[in-house]
Amino acid sequence: MSQSRHVPVMLQRCLDLLAPALQEPGAVVVDCTLGLGGHSEALLERFPEARLVALDRDKEALRLSGERLAPHGERATLVHAVYDELPDVLDRLGVPRVQGVLFDLGVSSMQLDEADRGFAYAQDAPLDMRMDQSTGMSAAEVLNTYPPGELVRILRAYGEEKQAKRIVSAVVREREKEPFTNSARLVELIRAALPQAAKRTGGNPAKRTFQALRIEVNGELSVLERAIPAAVEALAVGGRIAVLSYQSLEDRLVKQVFAAGAANTAPPGLPVVPERYAPRLKLLTRGAELPTEEEIAENRRAAPARLRGAERIRESLG
């Protein structure tokens, strides 16, 4: 069931980007966002000499992926962790450096498809949105308890929602009558709050608010801010990293980390660039690569994907 439902995004391109780093026997590749294991399974099959370490904060995803990857035995190590915990995970496993890292930052198909998780605005469900349901605040708690100014900030910063004030005014008015518990009521409220012109563009009008709540509930951007530099640091020289992001905030963050790593930071005018100023990364993609039209036709969830890759070309100094 899980396999027919889950189509990994830009799979072939991700494998090709990582391939030069994963040819040697014993190479370690980390899938930081295991999900239903589509990318992980493909990595194990394409690189039969490699070892996989895969992380996910969602225990249900780990269970389902464990079944899927069981045929690969001890070559796959699955860990319940958030991806900014990568340095600790590698430390515990006694792995000093890795040859490949993959991030697929999309919400997993399972989380979108399981009605009771509350990620999707297309069906009524409890407003939960936690990727790890054993910890933290739900989306309903955020909506019901955050001060109005904080809610406006979240919708603007994480959802890029221009109508944040209108939506939050309506939320505050409604939550005083009765706390929010389900997604359908929130979708209805957003539809009613938005001016006609705003409803005509960009798909479901609730999309940006749901994205903002999901990012807040799971601390996604702050986790990513820590995780991408940590993953770059974990790469051996010659190691490669590939990151799939699905919205501009994530992509911008990845772009900044890669660009900083690929920059020559020497003061201008030096005849020879000292080692400590030389770039540590080489960019493998020109800007962000996009999925093909054929792929989008086959898998609509690939449409917003942006892929960036980089190779570690020297050690950090100092």
Segment 48-93, tens digit of pLDDT: 999 999 999 888 889 999 999 999 999 999 999 999 999 999 999 9
Per-residue pLDDT, averaged over 135-159, amounts to: 94
Per-residue pLDDT, averaged over 193-197, amounts to: 82
Q: Which residues are annotated as a binding site for S-adenosyl-L-methionine?
A: 37-39, 56, 83, 104, 111
Q: Which residues are annotated as a binding site?
A: 37-39, 56, 83, 104, 111
Determine the pLDDT at residue 271: 86
3-state secondary structure the chain: CHHHHCCCCCHHHHHHHHHHHCCCCCCEEEECCCCCCHHHHHHHHHCCCCEEEEEECCHHHHHHHHHHHHHHHHHEEEEECCHHHHHHHHHHHCCCCEEEEEEECCCCHHHHHCHHHCCCCCCCCECCCCCCCCCCCCHHHHHHHCCHHHHHHHHHHHHCCCCHHHHHHHHHHHHHHCCCCEHHHHHHHHHHHCCHHHHCCCCCCCHHHHHHHHHHHHCHHHHHHHHHHHHHHHEEEEEEEEEEECCHHHHHHHHHHHHHHHCCCCCCCCCCCCHHHCCCEEECCCCCECCCHHHHHHCHHHCCCEEEEEEECCCCCC
Residue 242: pLDDT above 80?
yes
Determine the pLDDT at residue 4: 40
User: What does the pLDDT look like over 247-298, one tens digit per residue?
Assistant: 888 999 999 999 999 998 888 888 888 888 899 999 999 999 999 999 999 9
Per-residue pLDDT, averaged over 139-163, amounts to: 94
Determine the pLDDT at residue 202: 61
* pLDDT above 90 coverage of the chain, percent: 66
Check: CATH 1.10.3720.10 for 117-217? no
Residue 3: pLDDT above 60?
no
Residue 27: pLDDT above 60?
yes
Domain residues of the chain, as ranges? 2-110+220-312, 117-217
pTM over 0.85: no
Determine the pLDDT at residue 109: 45
pLDDT band for 198, please (50, 70, 90 cuts): low
- 273-278 long-range contacts, Cβ below 8 Å, gap at least 24? 275/314, 275/317, 276/317, 276/318, 278/314
pLDDT band for 113, please (50, 70, 90 cuts): very low
Per-residue pLDDT, averaged over 137-160, amounts to: 94
pLDDT band for 213, please (50, 70, 90 cuts): very high
Determine the pLDDT at residue 111: 47
Residue 5: pLDDT above 60?
no
Residue 149: pLDDT above 80?
yes
User: What does the pLDDT look like over 165-181, one tens digit per residue?
Assistant: 999 999 999 999 999 99
Determine the pLDDT at residue 121: 64
Per-residue pLDDT, averaged over 95-123, amounts to: 71
Class for the domain spanning 2-110+220-312: alpha beta
Per-residue pLDDT, averaged over 207-225, amounts to: 89
Mean of the per-residue pLDDT values of the chain:
89
Residue 116: pLDDT above 60?
no
Q: Exposed, middle or buried by CB within 10 Å (0-12, 13-18, 19+), for 315?
A: exposed
Distance CA 5, CA 127 (A): 23
